[in-house]
Amino acid sequence: DEFISSPPRKTVRFGGTLTEILLKYEKGDTTDFELLKHQLSDPDIKDAQIINWLHEFRASVAYLTKELEQLVNILLKLPWLRRSREVVEEYLGFLGNLVSAQTVHLRPCLRMIVSQFVPPRITIREDDVDISDSDDDDENISENFDTCHRALQTVARYVPSTPQFLMPILVEFFPFINKSERTLECYVHNLLRVTVYLPTLRLQILELITEKLLKLDVSTPQQDIEDAEETANNCASEEKSTEEGLFDMEEDEDRKGNKVVSPSIERMAHPLAERLDILMTILFSYIKDVCHVNGKLDISNTKDLYRDLVSVFDKLILPTHASCHVQYFMFYICSFKLGLAEAFLDHLWKKLQDPNNPSVIRQTAGSYIGSFLARAKFIPIVTVKACLDLLVNWLHKYIDNQDTGANAYCDVALHGPFYSTCQAVFYTLIFRHKQLLDGNLRKGLSYLQSLNFERIVMCQLNPLKICIPSVVNLFAAITRKYQLVFCYTIIERNNRQFIPVVRSGTGGDLVQTCTNPLDSFFPFDPYILKRSKKTIDPMYQFWEELSAEDLENLKKPIKKGTSEDEDDDFLKGETPQNDGVVEIAPNSYESNARSPVSSIGSPADCYVPYPL
């Protein structure tokens, strides 16, 4: 009775052997062939059936020519990944046989594998409209990805030209930036895994990932991210106050005693920033894993990766204006070894001084040098001084060549690299002057005096007129304090010469002054993505807000002829660099006159009163 009432097992096949079916098809008899396609397309197909069919197909791959492309596509759509181990092994064997015997099917095989680099989706349709596109929480997703990479390695082993066919497919299947965080995370993670066993593709894959990250980065300016965070925090505070009002004081105390960290604390309020944060975290982890073997830095691996990342930096990052976070992969890898940081600075320096490079690239290189020297804790003061020497000597030579010629006047279009270099020097001095003077004030002052800032500031090219006011004001205050140069006369003259610009807008005419004619930005301004910033913060020099005492001190020049004891007293009176307590400075210029990118976290537009 049980046998009669139970449904038949789906192991029955019709139409004879596979070879017979294919030979009949060649002669024009398509009946069995159509039946075969129908059986292979059955959504309820059993593991035993799949194994039997694959076993026959492996022995008959010679018949699977271009004319049978439709049948091969059906085979490639078989749900093999989420099947038993026996099915997976048989399918991998079939793929190897297929691509080695019929390379015409290489692309479809690669497309099938790459399509599995993202989690399966659950799509709910209502009235022919997708109302949900959420990721499926598949418990075996990690194992499935491992199997995909085994399949790709199998194909690559049989067909050496796989990489050149694979790369366009990887580009084609890259998810749109509006896809879910999980989809993007899985795809980027799998792309980076490909570079481990197909190293010839590493540079192209890094370029692809960086290009997509840049799209996310420039679509989410820092101001937008901070506004979204502020709005989210305000909403959370309102919800919390409303909720607390529903409980009495005792319950309130109990809840305060057992603090629970909300998972939302780690999330970015801005959806694109959240995606960027996750992907930057993956990229940082990849860089760390490649460069370290068994917990120790592998110099050879690190150098190779550094070369690839510098190539990506030159091609994509350097020409991109206003990126805020992606460039930090260079900051991170340079932190592994001082030699890498010095190599990066040397690379930027060559870009800056090469007159064959476009002016905008030279200016950006100058911005990177200044920001890198100012913000990277891992760069020792010896390297900072060496870079300042290079930059300042180049400025003096530039002045020698220009200051008496026909172009010896203030013009950003003519002298953009010069002004960018001046700003890099000023910016570096603002952040590093305490360290430059640390230990031996007289020796430090002697070094700073040797840089001859007075000649740079007083030259006909007038850099104080072009550089961002926040940088100029603090540079003027610091150089006055140490009697290096007196900038205030020039600043006042420049202020009188500023011509207001009248612009018409929807709200009426707006009168504003261009405070950033260089349209410059500081590439290593504070990193504000919550997860990935944990990687950057320990090696990052934050800007310390000037206290009232510091501002007062900046008005008091150092008297010449101070004794060593007085030097030490002065140094003790300096505000110590406290890495634990830091504040992010406001924008370096007002919002109605800012460049496309505000310099959040750069020195504040600090007004130090002119001395009487």
Per residue in 286-313, pLDDT tens?
999 999 999 999 999 999 999 999 999 9
Beta partners for residue 133, in sequence order: 123
pTM of the model: 0.82
Do residues 325 and 529 touch, judged by C-beta distance below 8 A?
yes
Distance from C-alpha of 218 to C-alpha of 367, rounded to nearest angstrom:
18
**Mean pLDDT throughout 56-68?**
89
Distance from C-alpha of 559 to C-alpha of 550, rounded to nearest angstrom:
17
Angle at 307 between CA 303 and CA 311, to 5 degrees: 165
Domain boundaries, the chain: 1-121+140-170, 358-504+515-523
pLDDT value, residue 409: 78
Which uninterrupted H or E stretch holds 134?
A: strand 129-135
User: How far is CA 567 from its chain centroid?
Assistant: 43
Name the residue with higher pLDDT: 96 or 439.
Answer: 96
**Mean pLDDT throughout 480-506?**
77
Reply yes or no on whether the pLDDT at 253 is more than 70.
Answer: no
Reply yes or no on whether the pLDDT at 490 is more than 90.
Answer: no
CA atoms within 13 A on the CB side of 544: 19
Task: Supply the mean pLDDT for the chain.
Answer: 81
Question: Most confidently modeled of 23-27, 47-51, 237-241, 327-331?
Answer: 327-331
Nearest to 351 by CA among 388, 396, 319: 319
DSSP letters spanning 64-100: --GGGHHHHHHHHTS--TTS-HHHHHHHHHHHHHHHH
**Mean pLDDT throughout 47-75?**
90
Q: Other CB atoms closer than 10 Å to residue 48's CB: what's the count? A: 14
Burial class of residue 13, CB neighbours in 10 A (0-12, 13-18, 19+): middle
Q: Can you list the pairs that 450-455 forms with residues at least 24 positions away whose Cβ atoms lie under 8 Å?
A: 451/388, 451/389, 451/392, 452/392, 452/396, 453/479, 453/484, 453/485, 454/484, 454/485, 455/396, 455/399
DSSP one-letter code for 540: B
pLDDT in tens, 539-561: 999 987 665 566 666 666 655 44
Buried b (16+ CB within 10 A) or exposed e, 103-135: eebbebbbbbbbebbbbeeeeeeeeeeeeeeeb
pLDDT value, residue 266: 79
Reply yes or no on whether the pLDDT at 122 is more than 70.
Answer: no
**Mean pLDDT throughout 353-358?**
94
Q: Give the dihedral sign, CA 155/161/165/170.
A: positive
Distances 106 to 73, 145, 331 between C-alpha atoms, Å: 12, 20, 40
DSSP one-letter code for 610: P
Q: Kindly give, in sequence order, each residue whose CB lies less than 8 Å from that of residue 421, ignoring residues fewer than 6 positions away.
A: 352, 366, 369, 391, 394, 395, 398
Angle at 166 between CA 165 and CA 171, to 5 degrees: 115
Fold designation for 1-121+140-170:
MgtE N-terminal fold (1.25.60)
Name the residue with higher pLDDT: 590 or 240.
Answer: 240
Q: Tokens for 393?
A: 């000597």
Q: Tokens for 408?
A: 């010896």
**Range with the lowest mean pLDDT among 36-40, 126-130, 193-197, 384-388?**
126-130
**Range with the lowest mean pLDDT among 28-32, 66-70, 384-388, 406-410?**
406-410
pLDDT value, residue 134: 47
